[in-house]
């Protein structure tokens, strides 16, 4: 037997561990075979010049872990219970022949789903991975076109809605953070009953919503989630089965669209006009398909994503009335409601409805900062229990510390103070964006939507196509996205999103000038 | 027209807001009807004794939000576009007659699912909520028996696996926390490409796993999630379709069982013996059902949950071999692997497999603290993309700040130092638990499992049934759970979990004495 044990007295690794590693390695690599006899501890101790107790310690570990077995009077052997086929090199590059042999049989199951985008590397063989079958959900995720935002950080990023971080009351926030971090309460939320969140935060959110969004709700209806995307995902899981009709705005928010599609929903795009989602378009579906009863209508009424249109009050009431009649939930994503620069914020749909028709999604990503990952749902009381269960299964609960900090931040008035301050600041920035567009684009740029939110959508008349503008902007240090990905149907040319909240005045002016040079040259 | 506007000069609410609120309230409550004429701003200003500009400001808000409309030369009217049926009292207690009228038609869909637990309040009418239909998932969540842990915090809590928080290097952690909090990077992870987590943390985790768990993986295989429950949930979504066979340990971890069940899996309990999950039992299923090919086998090999048995190395290799042959993924929940008090930790299944058979779930909840909500998956490289997409749809990414802190905490050696320290501490506590059980229960208590983890399962011979013991323990200030809920099949009597890690020596001794008095009296 050729048992090569290298022991290095100066390696810093204990000797018994070195012996253990050598023998275990020899077994797993196949150099020591199942049933093969090992030298005695005495012989090994002698040959290595190491105390016998040390060798015995290594053997004990190997015995207790089942790599070797002892037979009284006969000696020690490599365990006979180790399957032969596993005793091969532990190399990360697998021998193709081995791989062939170990590839499981392909499971047959018809899917009837076609790949939309053959150039997407993730789209290859969506039905299986090395012969393993994935779920319908995973197959849908793999086979459909995925988001293609770049992970590179350009000099100026217009693609994502980021708040002006420099204005955030960081000192106050961090004081609260440290205060709660110092007295960490480790067990506070580990019971499933608490999956919906830290009760003092739920109370603060309920009271905030009633003050600011005219939503009268009980803390028991508030479910704390990790940002609005988790809110959307939970709604999708609780409401959607494969094949269900659901309605979204056209153009609409891509994160919601992808979630609903991945759940297998039959996603119907509903056109948006200057008053927001068209209830007439919903009624057209009803006429075309008697008994039409979608599971939900997903809307962004306070500042339609991406167009920026505010859903008018008459339209709101009409939508609620229609949804109630056909038996559809309204999912109100109020992601951007805090910033309205003309008049008071319009009350949320959830504040106009009193019959459990609206599921409300709120987020702190736009008001505080996105990497915080905190948002909330307000659900009809009779749905609170099932959402709490779903949240527990999803991730037990959202992180406690930030919930504690946020509860204090709201309670002490910092949130509303911050929003008031930012509303003025963003209004000025918005004006500057519009002035700069006028100055550098003249009539070649039209701003869509109402005076709200922290981004504008601009329609640009250019000879270049959208992809070319995006590419040249990227080369000029500007990250910009067209609204093309927001449409399920045919997208218009030349619509771009400008997220301006995090940019200073110089950056706004300069990047719009650069964009004009690109688009109009 | 009877337009009652109460204005209170001393209320602190601005006068134009008070007027706005009064008129809006009158419109929404139906006191002002669609098309009804409003008094002129001049008349209102006069009757209220308020500057006309203030009244005009209120009217402008109402106009811009669509509640009222102006007709040149004719005056101002309540908007005609408001649906009549919504103009009713905005009271949270809905008139039953109104509710009747607004209840949507019940959607017909056969489910063929029976309620298991009629006493569960959430289980009533699982198929619909006020006539709205929920998804199959939500219906399953509502109709099945849910977890019944109490949210009350007893004097001594044995039910949850909580670490010894007093020993946590809180000062170091909070220093790192404040360091990163001060220089918040707001945009770092908002691109979908980063949904899998903060790359420096993924690198640290990959290197940690290779040092400590013998798992050789690339950072690209590591997906940062919000604790192991989210890991389980993502695995369930990526692998399970309704009706799929999946295998779990019997007894097993309830969080995984509930997740798989809610996804509609056909959950097969596989018995656990002294070496861990029985591969023979898996083979019995194969014999009974030729072509048997479950989507996954979920195991807790490092310290079986709840029994505490460590999966032996031969059994590990046998399991991998079997799974590969039948085409099942192994989902390895390594929740408790850091603490093994006899010999070195056994390498993870993910370290023994080199053909993409194992999906590894790790958590920091037991090592750091549970309310942190951080864990990670290590997935075969060809699954990394689909898991990243699923994570993005679920909640975009895990909170950034804690990822930054944890990356530093590992890089600076704090994690491994802390684990070494805790291993000694927990070993002593475990010994004390066993001694105390012997002292107070004598032969009436048997400890199951191996010397690992931060809890023990004890089998108690008592004349009382489990529920009675739990109830009397609660009255004595002790929260304790039987393992009954860990079994899908018939559960044995008198098995209880003792999570001891967070208790000091006196508390351990005292509560076991109290338990003995309860169980043996």
- Indicate the residue among A55, A86, A117 that finishes a domain: A86
Residue A203, φ and ψ in degrees, nearest 5: -65, -45
Task: Tell me whether A295 touches chain B (CB under 8 Å).
Answer: yes
> Do A273 and A251 fall into the same domain?
yes
CA A53 to chain B, closest CA, distance in angstroms equals 15
Q: Residue B383: inside a domain, yes or no? A: yes
Per-residue exposure over B90-106, b if at least 16 CB sit within 10 Å of its own CB, e if not = beeeeeeeeeeebebee
Of B131, B229, B327, nearest to A396 by CB-CB distance is: B229
| Per-residue pLDDT at B188 | 62
Q: Given a cut of 90, is residue B111 above it in pLDDT?
A: no
| Per-residue pLDDT at B185 | 67
| Per-residue pLDDT at B102 | 38
Note whether A82 contacts B317, CB cutoff 8 Å: yes
The mean per-residue pLDDT over the stretch B260-272 comes to 96
> Do A82 and A198 fall into the same domain?
no
Q: Given a cut of 60, is residue B67 above it in pLDDT?
A: yes
Q: Residue A136: inside a domain, yes or no? A: no
Please report the residues numbered 248 through 277 in chain A whose beta carbons come closer than 8 angstroms to any beta carbon of chain B. 255, 258-259, 262
| Per-residue pLDDT at A110 | 36
Note whether A393 contacts B258, CB cutoff 8 Å: yes
Among residues A146, A391, A409, the alpha carbon closest in space to that of A255 is found at A146
Reported ipTM: the value is 0.82
Q: What is the pLDDT of residues B362-389, one digit of tens each?
A: 998 888 888 888 999 999 999 999 999 9
Q: What is the SS3 assignment for A104-167? A: CCCCCCCCCCCCCCCCCHHHCCCCEECCEECCHHHHHHHHCCCCCCCCCCCCEECCCCCCCHHH
- Indicate the residue among A415, A449, A472 that finishes a domain: A415
- Which residues, listed in sequence order, are joined to residue B271 by a DSSP beta bridge? B250
Q: Residue A9: inside a domain, yes or no? A: no
Note whether A94 contacts B141, CB cutoff 8 Å: no
Q: Residue A95: inside a domain, yes or no? A: no
> Do B377 and B422 fall into the same domain?
no
> Do A409 and A271 fall into the same domain?
yes
> Do B230 and B247 fall into the same domain?
yes
- CA A431 → CA A170, A311, A427, A505, distances in Å? 26, 21, 6, 11
> Do B487 and B438 fall into the same domain?
yes
CA B191 to chain A, closest CA, distance in angstroms equals 6
| Per-residue pLDDT at B127 | 63
The nearest alpha carbon in chain B to A134 belongs to B239
Among residues B223, B87, B181, B230, the alpha carbon closest in space to that of B405 is found at B181
Q: What is the pLDDT of residues A123-180, one digit of tens each?
A: 445 567 777 889 999 998 988 888 876 667 888 989 888 888 888 999 999 999 999 9
Specify the residue for token string 């990394």.
B384
Task: Tell me whether B61 touches chain A (CB under 8 Å).
Answer: yes
Q: Residue B158: inside a domain, yes or no? A: no
Note whether A233 contacts B191, CB cutoff 8 Å: no
Q: What is the CATH number of the domain that holds B229?
A: 3.40.640.10
Q: pLDDT grade, residue B91 (50/70/90)?
A: very low
Q: What is the CATH number of the domain that holds B506?
A: 3.90.1150.10
Distance CA A87, CA A100 (A): 17
Please report the residues numbered 325 through 384 in chain A whose beta carbons come closer than 8 angstroms to any beta carbon of chain B. 325-329, 342-344, 346, 352, 354-356, 369-373, 380, 382-383
For an interface test with B, which of A327, A328, A452 has the most B Cβ atoms less than 10 Å from its Cβ?
A327
Domain count along chain B? 3
Successive 10-residue mean pLDDT values, chain A, 521 residues = 69 81 80 84 87 88 81 83 52 34 40 35 56 89 79 84 87 93 71 86 95 90 96 97 96 95 95 96 94 96 93 93 95 90 82 92 87 93 95 93 94 94 93 96 93 92 95 94 92 94 93 96 89
| Per-residue pLDDT at B116 | 34
- Indicate the residue among B30, B61, B86 that finishes a domain: B86
Q: What is the CATH number of the domain that holds B62?
A: 1.10.10.10
> Do A362 and A298 fall into the same domain?
yes
Crossing angle for the helix pair B414-441 and B505-520, nearest 10 degrees?
Answer: 30
Note whether B371 contacts A165, CB cutoff 8 Å: no
- The predicted model scores a pTM of 0.82
Contacts of B327 (CB under 8 A, 6+ apart): A104, A105, A106, A107, A131, A132, A133, B293
Note whether B370 contacts A186, CB cutoff 8 Å: yes
A167 half-sphere exposure, CB direction, 13 A CA radius: 21
Note whether A186 contacts B157, CB cutoff 8 Å: no
> Do B393 and B320 fall into the same domain?
yes
- The size of the A-B interface in CB pairs under 8 A is 372
> Do B262 and B409 fall into the same domain?
yes
- Which residues, listed in sequence order, are joined to residue A499 by a DSSP beta bridge? A455
Q: Which contiguous run of DSSP H or E holds residue A455? A: strand A455-460
Q: What is the pLDDT of residues B436-457, one digit of tens each?
A: 999 999 999 999 988 888 999 9
Of B79, B163, B354, nearest to A94 by CB-CB distance is: B354
> Do B441 and B350 fall into the same domain?
no
Tokens describing residue B83: 């649906």
| Per-residue pLDDT at A15 | 85
CA dihedral (A79, A80, A84, A86) positive or negative: negative
Mean pLDDT, chain B, as a whole number?
86
| DSSP character string of A1-68 | --------TTSSS-HHHHHHHHHHHHHHHTSSPTTPBPPPHHHHHHHHT--HHHHHHHHHHHHHTTSE
Residue B127, φ and ψ in degrees, nearest 5: -80, -20
- Which residues, listed in sequence order, are joined to residue B276 by a DSSP beta bridge? B273
Please report the residues numbered 395 through 434 in chain B whose beta carbons come closer than 8 angstroms to any beta carbon of chain A. 395-402
Q: Residue A255: inside a domain, yes or no? A: yes
| Per-residue pLDDT at A336 | 82
Q: Given a cut of 50, is residue B238 above it in pLDDT?
A: yes
> Do B345 and B408 fall into the same domain?
yes
> Do B227 and B285 fall into the same domain?
yes
| Per-residue pLDDT at A189 | 63
Q: Residue A236: inside a domain, yes or no? A: yes
The nearest alpha carbon in chain B to A179 belongs to B174
Q: What is the pLDDT of residues B34-47, one digit of tens each?
A: 888 888 888 888 88
Q: Residue A153: inside a domain, yes or no? A: no
Contacts of B249 (CB under 8 A, 6+ apart): B269, B270, B272, B276, B277, B298, B299, B300, B304, B305
Of A259, A314, A396, nearest to B227 by CB-CB distance is: A396
**Domain encompassing residue B60:** 15-86
Residue A285, φ and ψ in degrees, nearest 5: -60, -40
Specify whether the CB–CB gap between B92 and A216 falls below 8 A: yes
Q: What is the pLDDT of residues B277-330, one digit of tens each?
A: 999 999 999 999 989 999 999 999 999 999 999 999 899 999 999 999 999 999
């Amino acid at each position: 037997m050729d048992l090569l044990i290298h022991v290095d007295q100066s390696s810093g690794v204990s000797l018994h561990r070195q012996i253990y590693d050598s023998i275990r390695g020899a077994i797993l690599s196949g150099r020591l075979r199942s049933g093969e006899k090992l030298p005695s501890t005495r012989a090994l101790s002698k040959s290595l010049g190491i105390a016998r107790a040390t060798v015995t310690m290594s053997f004990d570990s190997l015995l207790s872990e089942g790599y070797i077995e002892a037979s009284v009077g006969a000696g020690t052997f490599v365990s006979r219970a180790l399957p032969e086929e596993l005793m091969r090199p532990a190399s990360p590059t697998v021998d193709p022949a081995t791989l062939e042999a170990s590839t499981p049989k392909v499971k047959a199951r018809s899917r009837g789903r076609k790949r939309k985008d053959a150039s997407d590397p993730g789209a290859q063989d969506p039905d299986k991975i090395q012969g393993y079958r994935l779920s319908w959900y995973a197959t849908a995720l793999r086979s459909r076109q995925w988001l293609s935002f770049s992970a590179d950080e350009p000099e100026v990023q217009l693609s994502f809605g980021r708040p002006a971080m420099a204005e955030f009351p960081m000192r106050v926030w961090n004081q609260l953070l440290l205060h709660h971090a110092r007295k960490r309460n480790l067990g506070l939320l580990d019971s499933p009953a608490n999956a919906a969140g830290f009760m003092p935060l739920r109370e603060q959110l309920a009271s905030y919503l009633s003050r600011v969004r005219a939503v009268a709700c009980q803390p028991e209806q508030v479910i704390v989630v990790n940002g609005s995307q988790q809110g959307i995902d939970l709604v999708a899981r609780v409401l959607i089965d494969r094949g269900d009709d659901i309605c979204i705005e056209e153009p609409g928010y891509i994160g919601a669209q992808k979630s609903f599609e991945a759940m297998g929903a039959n996603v119907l795009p509903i056109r948006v006009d200057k008053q927001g989602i068209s209830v007439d378009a919903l009624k057209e579906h009803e006429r075309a398909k008697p008994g039409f009863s979608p599971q939900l209508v997903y809307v962004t009424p306070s500042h339609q994503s991406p167009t920026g249109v505010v859903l008018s009050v008459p339209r709101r009431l009409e939508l609620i009335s229609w949804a109630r009649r056909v038996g559809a939930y309204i999912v109100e994503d109020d992601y951007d409601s805090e910033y309205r620069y003309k008049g008071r914020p319009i009350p949320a749909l959830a504040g106009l409805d009193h019959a459990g028709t609206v599921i409300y999604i709120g987020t702190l990503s736009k008001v505080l900062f996105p990497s915080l990952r905190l948002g909330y749902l307000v659900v009809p009381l009779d749905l609170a229990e099932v959402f709490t269960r779903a949240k527990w299964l999803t991730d037990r609960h959202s992180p406690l510390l930030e919930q504690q900090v946020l509860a204090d931040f709201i309670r002490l008035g910092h949130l509303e103070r911050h929003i008031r301050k930012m509303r003025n600041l963003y209004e000025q920035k918005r004006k500057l964006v519009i002035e700069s567009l006028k100055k550098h684009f003249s009539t070649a740029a039209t701003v869509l939507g109402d005076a709200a939110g922290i981004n504008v959508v601009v329609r640009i008349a250019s000879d270049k196509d959208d992809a070319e503008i995006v590419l040249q902007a990227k080369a000029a240090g500007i990250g910009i996205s067209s609204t093309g990905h927001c449409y399920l149907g045919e997208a218009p040319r030349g619509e771009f999103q400008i997220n301006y909240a995090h940019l200073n005045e110089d950056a706004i002016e300069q990047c719009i000038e650069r964009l004009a040079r690109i688009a109009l040259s």
